Structure 1
Amino acid sequence: MRSFSIGSTLRFGALLVLAGFLAACGGRATTSPDMVQQANVPSSFDVTLLAEKDTQFDFEGAPLTIEDLKSAFRYRQEQKLPMGTVILKRGEKEKVKKEHILALARIGYEMKFQIFVLEKDGQISEIRTQAKE
């Protein structure tokens, strides 16, 4: 018969507690907005944006910086123009980059509208944002 010492029992218990903490915390940290394949994609969108170079957006034929785009969206909201859904598409010479998505996600979170991205394979994904805790 083998006897267990108190020290080895405490070490084993500490390892179990540590493993439990690691299992509980793993995989929950998100640093970027989530892209979710959306089953309920709207049939039409209120605003269509095209990705341009240097993290700019083409909005109704005009290239806009991030700040200019915020101003254009604020104007639309003040004029009571529809702003519920925005879709971001690939531009003629520029593909949608992570910087485009992050900038638009911040604006969408501040102004409370839904954002969708048309991917190169033709699928539309929704960008969902949430505040850090």
Structure 2
Amino acid sequence: MWLVAKNRLVRALALAVFTLLIGACAKGIKTDANLAPVNLPPSFDVTLIAAKEFQFDYQDVPLSPESLRAALNYRKDQSLPMSTVLLKRGEKQKITDRHIATLAQISVALGFAAYIQEDDEINEIRATTKPAE
């Protein structure tokens, strides 16, 4: 009898710790900015395709993340439209977390809105910078 009560107490304690841990990890995720609806533009200024080996296809040319940033920066310097960028899945390559993180970093640095398209669903990448301390 004592063993059953002790086992229930341990399970309840583990559940409480797990709940607190999940709550701490989710802090700041549900802000108004993150939960706002996505406003899709009628067309995108630049379309990228996820390529193998963590590269991006831009105008049928495979680019590394550094080269992509330089190409998009050049486009911005030439006053070409650069307000929206869409990243699509490649024929043989899925969009990875590294693709998304890199595009988010470039979008914050260059000031454009980034979107990803997978399975006919388009989502916006919303990235923020940490405030200076």
TM-score by length of 1: 0.72
Determine if the alignment matches structure 1 residue 77 to structure 2 residue 115: no
Inter-partner Cα distance in structure 1 for 2:63 and 2:34: 24
Within a 5 Å distance, the mapping from 1:36-115 to structure 2 comes to 38-115=37-114
Residues 38-67 of structure 1: per-residue CA shift (max 9 Å, x gap): 542111000000000111000000000000
Q: Give the corresponding residue for 1:127.
A: 125
Inter-partner Cα distance in structure 2 for 1:37 and 1:47: 23
Q: 3-state SS of the aligned residue for 2:75?
A: helix
Q: Percent identity?
A: 43
Structure 1 unmatched runs, 5+: 1-21
**Which amino acid in 2 is paired with 1:44?**
S
Alignment CA distance shift 1:132-1:73 (3 Å):
same
Pairs aligned (count): 107
Within a 5 Å distance, the mapping from 1:13-24 to structure 2 comes to none
Instruction: Report the Cα offset of residue 29 of structure 1.
Output: 5.5
Q: Which runs of 4+ in 1 moved over 6 A?
A: 34-37
- Do 1:116 and 1:126's aligned partners in 2 also have CA atoms closer than 8 Å? yes
**Larger relative contact order (Cα-Cα within 8 Å, sequence gap ≥ 6):** 1
Alignment CA distance shift 1:37-1:124 (3 Å):
farther
Instruction: Report the Cα offset of residue 132 of structure 1.
Output: 2.3
Structure 2 unmatched runs, 5+: 1-19
Higher helix share: 2
- Do 1:38 and 1:126's aligned partners in 2 also have CA atoms closer than 8 Å? no
Alignment CA distance shift 1:36-1:52 (3 Å):
farther
Alignment CA distance shift 1:95-1:29 (3 Å):
same
